[in-house]
Amino acid sequence: MIIAITSLSLLGLVLGLMLGLAGRYLKVEQDPIIDEIAAMMPGSQCGQCGFPGCVPAAEALASGSAPVTLCPPGGRVLAEELAAKLGVTVDLSAMADDLPAMAAVSEATCIGCTRCFKVCPTDAIMGAPKQIHTVFKEACTGCKACVEVCPTECLQMHPIPVTLGTWAWPKPALAA
């Protein structure tokens, strides 16, 4: 009888251990596609899509509850990539081809409140209390987070000017 009890206990113990190990090491954390989508997103957690960050937005995209056109900083390019990734068709014409824009501080009205650089997802705004803030052009992603918190409306979005280096030929008008 002791043998029976021991062997059954051992069996239970071993199987339990295996289950525990499997649970720990073979755990499916989340749908892998969410990670892949999250990697495609801008990653600035700007919140313009209405989700609290890029990973929640990716989850929504993966579950199909959000449209691929949700990300304004990503623009058309991201929407097309997401559509290809998720295998959905997307009407990009509805997505206004927003000219890429960048935030700029109007020095006349900036009061140095520091609110903007606290919300900037890419640390693109530099400043100190009671000092006029400035935007690093290289780091600004045009997410508009700062515009919303600015109490004096001194932060405005300005379209990035087209230069000879960035100008490109438009698509020819459709043939008859």
Partner 1 sequence: MKLFRFRGGVHPESHKQATGSKAIEAMPLQKRLYVPLQQHIGAPAEPQVRIGDQVLKGQLLANSQGAISAPVHAPSSGTVIDITEHTAPHPSGLGVRTVVIETDGEDRWQDCQKTINPFELDADEISARVGAAGIVGLGGATFPSAVKLNLWKKHPIYTLVINGGECEPYLTCDDRLMQERPDEIIDGIRIMLHALHAKQALIAIEDNKPDAIERMKVAAHLFDNVTVVVVPSRYPMGSEKQMVQTLTGLEIPAGKLSADLGVIVHNVGTAYAVHSALRQGRPLVSRIVTVGGGAINTPRNLEVPLGTLVSAVFDYCGGFGESPARLLMGGPMMGQLLPHAEVPIVKGSSGVIALTEAEVAINRPRPCIRCGSCINACPCGLLPLEMAARSRKGDLQGAVDYGLMDCIACGSCSYVCPSHIPLVQYFSYAKGELAARRRHKQKADETRKLAEVRMQRMEQEERAKAEAAARRKAEREAKSKQEAVV
Partner 2 sequence: MNRQVSNPISGPHTHSEQDTGKVMWTVLLALLPATAFGIYQFGWPALFLWLITTLACVVFEAMSLWLARKPILPFISDGSAILTGWLLAMTLPPWAPWWIGVLGAAIAIILGKQVFGGLGQNIFNPAMLARVALLISFPVEMTLWVNPLPLISSHAPGFIDSLLITLHGFKIDVYSGASVMGHVKTELSNGKTLSDALSQSYDATALALGFVNGSLGETSAVLILLGGAYLIYKKIISWHIPLSMIVTTASLAILMHGLHPERYPGGLFHVLSGGLLLGAFFIATDLVTSPNTRTGQLIFGAGCGLLVYAIRTWGGYPEGVAFAVMLMNAVTPLIDHYVRPRIYGHTATGKTLSYSNKKLARVKQAGEK
Rounded Cα distance between 4 and 69, Å, is 64
Site string for partner 2, 151-170 (x = CB under 8 A): -----------x----x-xx
> Could you tell me which of 144, 166, 167 has the C-alpha nearest to residue 156?
144
Q: Tell me: does residue 77 bind partner 1 (CB under 8 A).
A: yes
Q: Tell me: does residue 39 bind partner 2 (CB under 8 A).
A: no
Residue 25 contact, options partner 2, partner 1, none, Cβ 5-8 Å cut-off depending on partner type: none
CB 103, min distance to partner 2, A: 23
Site string for partner 1, 15-44 (x = CB under 8 A): ---------------------------xxx
Query: What stretch of H or E contains 118?
Result: helix 115-119
| Residues whose CB falls within 8 Å of the CB of residue 34, separated by 6 or more in sequence, listed in order | 55, 58, 59, 62
